[in-house]
Amino acid sequence: MGMTLTEKLLAAHCGRDSVRPGEIVNAALDLVICHEVTTPPAVEMLEKLGITKVWDPSKILVTPDHFVPAKDLRSAELASALRAWREAQGITRYYEVGNHGICHALAPEQGHVLPGQTIVCGDSHTTTMGALGTFATGIGSTDLAAALATGELWFKVPETLRIDLAGRLPFGVYSKDLILALIARIGVDGARYMAMEYGGPGLAGLSMEARFTLTNMAIEAGGKNGIMPADAVARAYVEERTDAPYTVFEADEDAAYAGRHALDLAALEPMVALPSLPSNGRFIGEVPPERMDQVYIGSCTNGRLEDLRIAASILKGNKVAPGTRAIVVPATTAVWKQALREGLLEIFTDAGCVVSTPTCGACLGGHMGVLGPGERCLSTTNRNFVGRMGSTKSLVYLASPATAAATAIAGVIADPRDYLAKPDLLDAGTDLVAAGADDCLWGV
Amino acid sequence: MTTILQGRAHVYGRAHINTDEIIPARYLNVHAEADLARHAMEDLDGAFVSKVQAGDFLFGGEDFGCGSSREHAVWALRGAGVKAVIAPSFARIFFRNAINNGFLALECAEATILAEPGDAVELDLAAGRLRNLTRNREAAFVPLTDFARDLLAAGGLLPYIQAKAPTVRTAAQAGA
Ligand code: SF4
């Protein structure tokens, strides 16, 4: 019997011809990513054991991202512990504040993620990087310590849930809407312990940045990893960034899947996940136009350049509604700089948004827009759990950057299709999205 | 490891209790167990830390521990004195973090109906059974895999690795 993409990758990394779901294997790791929240505890564990050297400094990437620049004294201590450790270990793939980014966006953007790799990070959204045909999964600090010391880690080979995509996204509908629709269908534990493998003809029409949003939120369905084949789009993305060699794996035709879901992209509409579970997704037409105190555009889910271009194309020439605050947080320094060059930051600030330096920020209730009691926020992040962005009495609604931008202008949850220029009316060269993004964004 | 444990039950039967509830992100700027313990379960039940005693059991609903990968969730519970979490099912990373720490996370289909808050419960690891001593009820939990057992017996992943491959440590220590 054949193997799924995840099974192929794990087999190759434990020196076996094949592996089966349920088996426990020890897999070699190609990249370990470290940020300031979960790494210092791992480093302390290693120090206690007298392990003073990591297994291979060249296979480790370090960036502070959660509370940067340091939000308080304790975060400063974590960041300086991270800094001192990476210096002592001679880890050169280091992105200091000023060059930093949310690790799941930064690592692929800077060419560190290659198809065929195994990647771990002490962070649940590590699944993001599977969009490049890698096995990437989140771990805790003990796992991280073991990974840093030995360069390998135990994994229970997951069953695979196959997601077959067909068609193209309609006007005003994005990959965030797709993943929210999928999670609404299968639930927050619909893929618990499983690999979520995306495939099918609908994939080809999605840009790389759009794809990262799909694998990013695999964890919101309980998935161990999200993965998709490294097709021409993925390979072009990688080769623009690095000339390092890599291996492309494919699922076998006769691979065994624990389940299959088919999604017709053309049938989707903008989605909003109501508080307080990511699976509470509704078509926007069914969502009451609740007033929003805050709109947040950013995170490892939707803080990439394409996301900012879409939001800016809606906010251009408009104003954020009185009574609503809009906060834009580019995911990485490179995104921030490019947004500056393209004039996006000016559009945001002219509209009355705050633009922050890259950080996880308010996504996890850290800083840069924490919610007070009774406040409502429409956010492009990935979790709307109780208290996730601040007060346990605040409410978080999840949606795409387009819906977020439309909502910022309206002050109430709004349908982005009422604010986007219709594709046939686009004046080529003047519209930001047409100028910068793939045509697939428009579904034309 | 002692195979019979006794403690009081704390019951939170809702499904999908997430790590933001177990230990809110606003406390992730520390990681000492004693510090985290003061805020265990804070966003679900602010009174939890005043009720919990060393050796108690926490009964949770399905998909317990979903959300972020923060091992702080396990540390906060353990720091607060919780000896084992028992739930019909666990989110993957929480379960992994628990056994990597030598902390008991047991799957039991009847977790949400076996006990009421405050009941005295006995956990028989060898027999794979939970007994509610207050109400005279009993339930089985899913036996741990051999691998998980080995990790628990070793006291967690790091001691396990060290015992299994002392060369790892020496190679790493000697490594240039
Ligand atoms: S942006 Fe939010 S979800 Fe992503 S890594 Fe940071 S805290 Fe986690």
Portion 73-112 of B in contact with A at CB < 8 A? 74, 89, 91-93, 96-97, 100-101
Share of chain A above pLDDT 70, in %: 95
Q: In what side-by-side order are the strands of the sheet with A31-34?
A: A93-94, A60-62, A31-34, A118-121, A135-138
Residues A72-128: tens digit of each pLDDT:
999 999 999 999 999 999 999 999 999 999 999 999 999 999 999 999 999 999 999
What's the DSSP call for residue A321?
A: P
Residues of A whose CB is below 8 A from B161: 146, 149-150
**Across the interface, do B74 and A149 touch by the CB < 8 Å criterion?**
no
What is the nearest CA distance from B55 to chain A, expressed in angstroms? 23
Average pLDDT over every residue of B112-133? 96
Q: Is A302 in the pocket of ligand 1 (CB under 6 A)?
A: no
Buried b (16+ CB within 10 A) or exposed e, A119-155: bbbbbbbbbbbbbbbbbbbbbbbbbbbbbbbbbbbbb
Q: Is A360 in the pocket of ligand 1 (CB under 6 A)?
A: yes
A320 vs A405: CA distance, rounded Å = 9
- Is pTM beyond 0.95? Reply is no
Question: Average pLDDT over chain B, rounded to whole?
Answer: 91
pLDDT at A434: 38
Average pLDDT over every residue of A173-194? 97
φ/ψ bin of B27: left (φ > 0), alpha (ψ from -120 to 50), beta (otherwise): alpha
Measured between CB atoms, does A283 come within 8 Å of chain B?
no
Res. A344: pLDDT tops 70: yes
- Closest atom of ligand 1 to A382 CA is 3
Q: Rg of the Cα trace of chain B?
A: 17
Q: Which two tokens stand for residue A181?
A: 């629709």
Alpha carbon distances (Å) from A236 to A69, A241, A244, A247, B127:
33, 9, 13, 14, 56
Q: Which of A54, A146, A189 sits opposite B161 (nearest CB)?
A: A146
Q: Is A123 in the pocket of ligand 1 (CB under 6 A)?
A: yes
Give the H/E segment covering residue A155: strand A152-156
Give the ipTM of the model, two decimals please. Answer: 0.88
Q: Which of B69, B145, B147 sits opposite A38 (nearest CB)?
A: B69
φ/ψ bin of A218: left (φ > 0), alpha (ψ from -120 to 50), beta (otherwise): alpha
